[in-house]
Amino acid sequence: MMGKLRMDRRRFLELTAGGMAAGLAQPALANTDPFYKGRNIDLIVGYPPGGSNNLYARVLANHIGKYIPGNPGVVVRNMPGAGSVTAAAHVFSQAPRDGTVLALASPTLPLEERLTTGVQRFKSSEFSWVGRINTLVNVIFTRKNSIRTFDEAFTTAARLSATGAGSAITVYPNSTNVVLGTKFDLVRGYSGSAEGMLAVERGEVDGHCTGWDTLKTSHPAWIENKSVNILAQFSAKRHPELKDVPTVLDYAKTERQKALMSAIVNAAEIGTAFFSTPGIPAERLAVLRQAFLRCMEDRDFLAEIVSLKIGLDPLAGERVSEMVSEIGKIPDTLVPELQQASLMTQPK
């Protein structure tokens, strides 16, 4: 298991000087035929262009190929739809199972799968998990002239732009309505965070729920000028850059509320995790996983992460796979409320 790493400029200098040896394993590449020579890898992103997911995908695409025998090109392809379910279903059932496809989808999909009682379009535990670049801490924010604290959300309605039912953008604020009792009014139908934040800018809505990295990279002036109020963060513990912002777990008043919200925010730990199709040859998955770890140590990769001002908290694919499997063990007694929180059933 790899040690955690949260990237800032001081830490970057330490890591590039020390080779990151203390934080990440550096295994030798597996012996394999140069299957990838002359080929491209498609990196499918289940979101529209714009936002931190695309940044992470493109940074990885820029550097991982040099650590894969045969040095394939990596081509990023956006496949938005249904909160990234469209992309996940395509990778599961239609993409070639030979290691020439990588993908990035919503970290809430394993939870949604656990809560689904009907026909499922994919099985998250069967994906070939390659590795995580960063945890994915989402925040709810509002315009300055709207509600200013999460406490106010329990008594005053605020309109938030939202997307599809399977997206964290929608699931997270809905979960606080169902479990904690907030009064967020979700205006659904936006294509993604870029459009959702444009709605905030236009005054169509009061706020939005999105990744912290997405907010600070796409609208840094909002943070610098304090023109938005960051109400809460969806994480098991406070992000180092958001030490004064409460987590939604801070508002859990009962053990049941805590258990329900913990199940939801655990998606933050899966985070920005990349996977391939089920059933790829074991030796090829080993190559991808090892290449991913080596990429996390690459000086040019690290420099690009710093220049983009996005976070880094890598985790090996084996550990991501374990976390996905753990979500499948959520007790049945929590499922009905989690289904309501995830917009899979209507509250009674």
Say if residue 33's pLDDT is above 90. no
In CATH, the architecture of 9-135+271-327 is: 3-Layer(aba) Sandwich (3.40)
CA dihedral of 263, 268, 274, 275, whole degrees rounded to 10: 0
- For 219-256, write each residue's pLDDT tens digit: 999 999 999 999 999 998 899 999 999 999 999 999 99
Q: State percent of the chain over pLDDT 70.
A: 89
Q: Supply the Cα-derived Rg of the chain in whole angstroms.
A: 20
The one-character DSSP state at 328 is T
Contact call for residues 185 and 159 (beta carbons, < 8 A): yes
Terminal-to-terminal C-alpha distance of the chain: 43
- Please report which confidence band the pLDDT of residue 322 belongs to, taking 50, 70 and 90 as the band edges: very high
Query: Residue 166 has what pLDDT?
Result: 67
What is the pLDDT of the chain when averaged over all its residues? 89
Higher-pLDDT residue of 3, 214 = 214
How do 101-104 and 272-276 pair as beta strands?
Answer: antiparallel
- For 202-216, write each residue's pLDDT tens digit: 999 999 999 998 899
- Highest average pLDDT, of 29-33, 83-87, 111-115, 251-255, comes from 251-255
Say if residue 32's pLDDT is above 70. no
Domain borders along the chain are 9-135+271-327, 138-266
Q: Do domains 9-135+271-327 and 138-266 have the same CATH topology?
A: yes
Q: Which residue has 């599961």 as its token pair?
A: 92
Q: For residues 99 and 108, give the distance between their C-alpha atoms in angstroms, rounded to a whole number.
A: 24
Decide yes or no: CATH 3.30.465.10 for domain 138-266: no
Distances (CA, A) of 120 to 85, 114, 175: 10, 10, 22
- For 56-109, write each residue's pLDDT tens digit: 999 999 999 999 999 999 999 999 988 899 999 999 999 999 999 999 998 888
- Please report which confidence band the pLDDT of residue 267 belongs to, taking 50, 70 and 90 as the band edges: confident
A 10 A CB-CB count for 61 gives 18
Say if residue 26's pLDDT is above 90. no
Q: State percent of the chain over pLDDT 90.
A: 73
Classify each residue of 135-156 as buried b or exposed e, where b means 16 or more C-beta atoms within 10 Å of its C-beta. Answer: bbbbbbbbbeebbeebebbeee
- Highest average pLDDT, of 124-128, 238-242, 308-312, 342-346, comes from 124-128
Query: Residue 347 has what pLDDT?
Result: 52
Query: Residue 275 has what pLDDT?
Result: 98
Contact call for residues 84 and 109 (beta carbons, < 8 A): yes
Kindly report the length of the chain.
Answer: 348
Residue 128 three-state SS: strand
Say if residue 190's pLDDT is above 50. yes
- Please report which confidence band the pLDDT of residue 1 belongs to, taking 50, 70 and 90 as the band edges: very low
- Please report which confidence band the pLDDT of residue 16 belongs to, taking 50, 70 and 90 as the band edges: very low
